[in-house]
Structure 1
């Protein structure tokens, strides 16, 4: 797995999560392989986030886990098209949830629009109009989810 975080403190925290699970290891973003997951930490998911994912992608199949702080402002199907396979809310991210989600994604979890929509809703991220075909909903729950469907 490789990590892209906008600040060094978040990056260090995610590295610490890796160290707590012997089945996880970090690779350089340039040498990420087909079964690796690229972890990207952002404040808000928006069009510029999708551009970051596009720039981080390489010729191999790219899988992204987004660690999101506060809001989701893009369509779920656009996120899937850009390689998003999972979402964790920053405030609910723990070493166990992080490891479980990464292992599920690297093990072949295939995202679909409904699963990503459910992850966004269940995480309690704020949503902007037009971010989905559904009504904007806010949830008090912050449970990290990965769909196995």
Structure 2
């Protein structure tokens, strides 16, 4: 019977059409991250392009496209001087966040890469399309990514540097010296300049100079702002 026949669903370009004549994917379009790929090795460059080109989340950029990359991938064997030159150039000329794909890397090379603005690192042996796209998304959101073993060793190195090099000189990674931390701690406890000078055995002028130096160097508006900064850094 004619009434029992199933209605025919039209297809366009191989996709069944909905009630509004749209492809199903058009109803939930995936946001795309613009990505540029750089490498001095043609095989690495080709391999990264092959992994990313089919991904709907990624928009590959080239020198001929007007699209500015949100993330720039740099593929290299190791973080040697030529690689650092490339990383420094990207940092100077682009607002793109950098993801480093590297065959081998240690803590020292990682520090050098970080100084050049690298936001994420993936070992070449761990690169799969799914993992690569996931890390690209992480870096594009302003977050960082490191292999877990590298992160652990880097934290150990930072601890040694603070304890053996910076600490004995009265310095901190936060940019505050031990005397500055002491002054801010007393400000946070409600003491005025005269009280702080008495407790720390400094002149009032020295206390004022310490606070002025902290606020100027770190671009803090006032004493309250300086105390809030020290609290966020976990110093007081």
Indicate whether the TM-score tops 0.5: yes
Q: 2:119 aligns with which of 62, 74, 85?
A: 85
Match of 1:37 in 2: 71
Please list, as runs of the form range in 1=range in 2, the aligned pairs for 1:65-80 lying within 5 A after superposition.
65-72=99-106, 74=108, 76-80=110-114
How many residue pairs are counted as aligned between the two chains?
123
SS in 1 for 2:60: coil
Q: 2:150 aligns with which of 121, 124, 128?
A: 121
Unpaired runs of at least 5, structure 2 = 1-34, 161-236
- 1:31-73 CA-to-partner distances (Å, cap 9, x unmatched) read 563x611100111113442221112335442311000102336
Q: 1:41 & 1:71 partners in 2: Cα distance?
A: 12
* TM-superposed deviation, 1:18: 1.1
Match of 1:55 in 2: 89
- 1:64-100 CA-to-partner distances (Å, cap 9, x unmatched) read 1000102336454543332211111001100011000
With normalisation by structure 2, the TM-score equals 0.44
Unpaired runs of at least 5, structure 1 = 125-131, 136-149
Greater relative contact order, per chain length (Cα 8 Å cut-off, separation 6+): 1
SS in 2 for 1:71: coil
Match of 1:15 in 2: 49
Largest Rg, 1 or 2? 2
Question: Conserved in 2, the CA contact under 8 Å of 1:87 and 1:119?
Answer: no
Higher helix fraction (1 or 2): 2
Seen in structure 2, the aligned counterparts of structure 1 residues 48 and 8 have a Cα distance that, compared at 3 Å, is closer
- 1:7-41 CA-to-partner distances (Å, cap 9, x unmatched) read 111111111111231110111258563x6111001
